[in-house]
Structure 1
Amino acid sequence: MHRRIIAPGALAAASLLLAIPASAASYSPGAPGIGDPYYPYYGNGGYDVSHYDLRLRYQPKTDELQGTATILARTTQDLSSFDLDFLLDVSEVRVNGAKAAFRHAEQHELVITPRTPLAKGTPVTVVVRYSGVPSTKSAYGFDTWHRTPDGAVAADEPEAAWWWFPSNDHPSDKATYDVSVAVPDGTQAISNGTLRSTRSERGWTRYSWRQDKPQATYLATLAIGRFDITTGTSERGVPVLNAYSKDLGDNDGAARASVERTGEIVDWLSNYFGPYPFAEAGGYVPNTTTGYALETQTRVFYSPKQFAKGANTSVVVHELAHQWYGDDVSVKGWKDIWLNEGFATYAQWLWSEHEGEGTAQELADHVYASHPADDPFWTVAPGDPGADDQFDDAVYDRGAAAIQALRDEVGDTAFFRILKGWPKSHAYGNASVADFEKYAEQISGKPLAGLFDTWLYQRSKPAVGAVRSFAAAGTAGKAVPQPKSWKKIEAAHGGHGR
């Protein structure tokens, strides 16, 4: 279940105003939230981050994390103070080289007051020194730091950064990353992007990773433990790095039989979505008790439970499809989640067809026929599902059926132009469902507002015949067989919820 965050109190806001020098009376605090209606106090106002440099040291035995985060940003208003989203203990903050006052507020806010107020458009370098035991921290009754027998994992949605680095935690503020982590010899540290160097000294080994393309904060990941690492290159030249905990037990073989097909699947997806958008691909399977997978950018997180019933390439397809739909092009706001989950699910439908386990049309027919008109399934609107239903089955299944409906309406030629052109048109940026509708109309030359409203926003089952190919599926008394791929596809759903 996802949470709505309680607004910081008026008293806290008043104390911030009192802290502003008289000479800076025209300056004001940055908002403690970026303004997303689903999570009003995630992210922060007043600045835009361009780069995170994280230099960390982690002891697996005690779960102690020490870090220095250097954040490069630019102000978007005249600022007397600003917030970062963070939970660990802070010992020092500097803003443009000078020590700054700081305090923790509410449950996940670090409020920073620089020595000198910051004018709009000012480049800012923020250095935060911190330490703590992430597994002892929680906010709003939950935590996203996952301990393993030999280390820990940071991977969750819609929030995970608070437990290991200070950030502007909202997908609309993407940035590049350098993540350098020192761990005891024999332990490895895995993160996003490309491994730039490995250096050992005095019983510690430092792993330095670089993500050189913009990345949302929830897509940043850190995995520490003892891994078996495999490397290779896809036929189209994409480097691939995968990692598996050495204690996966009975799930080890099925995990490898799935994730080791990453290069093949990346190349296959490129036929539909265009060239792979990042410098490297891959995934990792740590020994966690979590049950979900997550599209952490370039290095997908998989739970061993995804492979408890055997190999599952479908979930690999889902998470790798997100590298285009969700990571390359990220949501403007969390209500736009259909752009992530609907398209990743549709990629599974295309893979099902490729594997001979059910066509996309058969899967769409099954979704339509298996939910009667009074099923609550139809009351969730994939185009704006609400925070509580952000990862509901309807966002995935009805969301993918909406894409099949679009395909029926515009025809295959225009549809596959849309599918491939969209990531290129908004590369490394953010977009909304409204942006996608506009793009689809532009490419197809057809008005699509009615179709999008029917499939994404109406809280009722689309009428029989609303889309031609669904008519037979909706005919009373006609059963639609469950495609062979269905259960594997469903395994990728809802895993982000806790």
Structure 2
Amino acid sequence: MDPRALTRLAAPAAAALLALTTACTGSTVQGRPGASGLRDPYFPKAGNGGYEVEHYALDLDYDPAGGRLRGKAVITARAEQGLSSFNLDLSGLRVDSVRVRGAGGDGGAGAYAGARYNRSGNELTVRPAEDLKKGEVFRTEVVYSGRPKPLTDPDGSTEGWITTKDGAVGVGEPVGSMSWFPGNHHPSDKAAYDITLTVPDGYEAVSNGELRSRTPAGGGRTAFAWHSPEPMASYLATAVVGKYKVTTGRTPGGVPLYSAVEPAAAEQGERALARLPEMVDWAAGRFGPYPFGSAGAIVLPSGTLEYALETQTRPVFPGAPGSEELLVHELAHQWFGDSVSPKSWKDMWLNEGFATYAEWLWTEEHGGPTAQEEFRAFLDGDTAVDEQADSDWDAFPPADPPGPQDISGNPVYYRGAMVLHRVRQEVGDAAFFDLLRGWADDHRHGNAATADFTAYAQERTGRDLKKVWDVWLYGEDRPGA
């Protein structure tokens, strides 16, 4: 028998005993349990109800040799209702302790108090010593440890905590971040982050935002403290440990750059990465000011992942970027997906369709096919213009993927981009590019759904675009020219 079982209240009988004890003491329960999931159309158990996170402070100590992670997460949140309990998403890993600190009876900060907790699947249910009041800002400290493991997505791809030949990478789209830190893992709940990574001397540790310090931690280890003040969805958080070549600088427009490249990939990716400063400023000219305090890239050892990912401020690539278009795609996500994040996973075309169209804009302005030629190529299946032109881009409406395995399907990317081109055809270049900049600016650091975009586009351009939405965005049939 696990001697901690009663502390964790793993058994329903223990929960009943708690309720009985509360009744006997005359205490009045003010709150109710927060929901264990936000009922996302494709990932209904992702995220949790009853609170919104304001800040994550993650202190992670990783041993590459043994693959062991020790972590402490301090999660500052605001109760959206009276809470008798609330949930955090966490996959695997052993929880060593949980404490909760409320506002305190005098309106100031209260003291941390031990909290009862139990595990069920990927849900960590926390029961504070006292109910939390609606509007109360509280902190939850979770100390945990173990060997984090990757997760397999519905489409068969791998995410979460993935080991490399000399380190590891943490990535999280759509839910893999719960494999390396507890939290409210749904894109609708964005927060600021401070992530400290402690690793053996000689290793680099890279995360989102700005590197605030790099200090000796004793015992032959170094602590890297990263700060991300702008709101970030948890699936965009990353932690990378390894022996990387780090470069820093600024774009011509002044945006700070910090990139980490696996040495074997440095020469191969040099050409594409050399254009990153230019690309950042180009995208700012098209989509509005860069939305974060720094930019850059992380190039992992080849084969670590099956995909690139737009981790905030510092996209991750599975080996040297093979084309400028791939780099542009992940960079464009900093506006579309990272700054303006989806309200649910059903809204993925707002990420991927926009980033794909950014590729078309880049080639249009840099000696490649125009966006019109790309659009026409997909209609005609002309792989001489785009090798993906004969893909199943018309298999389903981009705003309505059939299931979770389809949220990264070709229609989300390519037909999503075609939706935007149809809007451009309808309203003209001036109104279209004003729409892109306005959308990114007016929803900066927020969340948006497809319905928000369609309403915004019609209001911003002053045009009735219903036929575009009906045929290209929601239509079941293959659209024509």
TM above 0.5: yes
Question: Is residue 38 from structure 1 mapped to residue 42 from structure 2 by the alignment?
Answer: yes
1:268 equivalent to 2:282? Answer yes
C-alpha distance in structure 2 between counterparts of 1:420 and 1:137, whole Å: 36
Decide whether the 8 Å contact of 1:330 with 1:429 is kept in 2.
yes
Which whole-Å CA distance do the structure 2 matches of 1:236 and 1:315 have between them? 22
Are the structure 2 counterparts of residues 392 and 28 from structure 1 closer, same or farther at C-alpha, using a change threshold of 3 Å? same
Q: What letter corresponds to residue 127 of structure 2 in structure 1?
A: T
Q: 1:330 to 1:192 in 2, by over 3 A?
A: same
What TM-score, normalized by structure 2, do the two folds share?
0.88
> 2:473 aligns to what?
456
Alpha carbons 2:33, 2:86 under 8 Å: kept = yes
Give 1:12 deviation, angstroms: 8.7
Provide the residue aligned with 2:6 in structure 1: none
Q: 2:340 aligns with which of 320, 323, 329?
A: 329
Residues 93, 126 of structure 1: 8 Å contact kept = yes
CA shift for structure 1 position 377: 4.0
SS at match of 1:293: coil
Matched, 1:292 2:296: no
Q: Distance in 2 between matches of 1:57 and 1:24?
A: 41
Alpha-carbon distance in structure 2 between the residues aligned to 1:137 and 1:340: 22
User: How does 1:58-457 map onto structure 2 within 5 Å?
Assistant: 58-87=62-91, 88-96=93-101, 97-105=112-120, 107-135=121-149, 144-200=160-216, 201-246=218-263, 248=264, 251-287=265-301, 288-304=303-319, 307=321, 311-370=322-381, 377-385=393-401, 386-457=403-474
Describe the superposition over 1:394-443 as per-residue Cα deviations: whole angstroms up to 9, x where unpaired.
Answer: 11111111110000001111101001111110110001111111111111
Q: Which amino acid aligns with 1:283?
A: A
Deviation at 1:453, TM superposition (A): 1.7
Report if aligned partners of 1:415, 1:444 keep a CA contact under 8 Å in 2: yes
Output the CA distance in 2 between the equivalents of 1:419 and 1:398.
17
- Structure 2 gap ranges (5+): 1-9, 102-111, 383-389
- Distance in 2 of aligned mates of 1:120 and 1:427: 27
8 A contact 1:156–1:294 mirrored in 2: no
What is the rounded CA distance, in whole Å, between the counterparts of 1:85 and 1:382 in structure 2? 28
Paired letter, 2:281: D
Q: State the match for 1:483 in structure 2.
A: none
User: Could you report, residue by residue, the CA deviation over 1:166-198 in whole angstroms, capped at 9, with x for unpaired residues?
Assistant: 110001000000001111100111000000001
Secondary structure of the 1:66 match is strand
Q: What whole-Å deviation, never above 9, does each CA across 1:143-174 have from its counterpart, x for those lacking one? A: 52111111100113102211211110001000
> Number of residues paired by the alignment?
444
- How far is the alpha carbon of 1:449 from its aligned partner? 2.1
Sort the Cα spacing of 1:24 and 1:368 in 2 relative to 1 into closer, same or farther, 3 A: farther
Task: Summarize deviations over 1:29-49 as a string: whole Å, max 9, x none.
Answer: 111102211100000011000
State the percentage of identical aligned residues: 45
Q: TM-score, normalised by structure 1?
A: 0.85
2:104 match:
none
Residue 256 of structure 1: how far off its partner (Å): 2.5
**Inter-partner Cα distance in structure 2 for 1:35 and 1:59:** 36
User: CA contact under 8 A between 1:170 and 1:216: conserved in structure 2?
Assistant: yes
> Relative to 1, partners in 2 of residues 1:377 and 1:319: Cα closer, same or farther, differing over 3 Å?
closer
Q: Cα offset for 1:459?
A: 1.1
Contact 2:391 2:410 survives alignment (8 Å): no
CA contact (8 A) 1:240 1:262 kept: no
Which amino acid counterpart does residue 108 of structure 1 have in structure 2? N
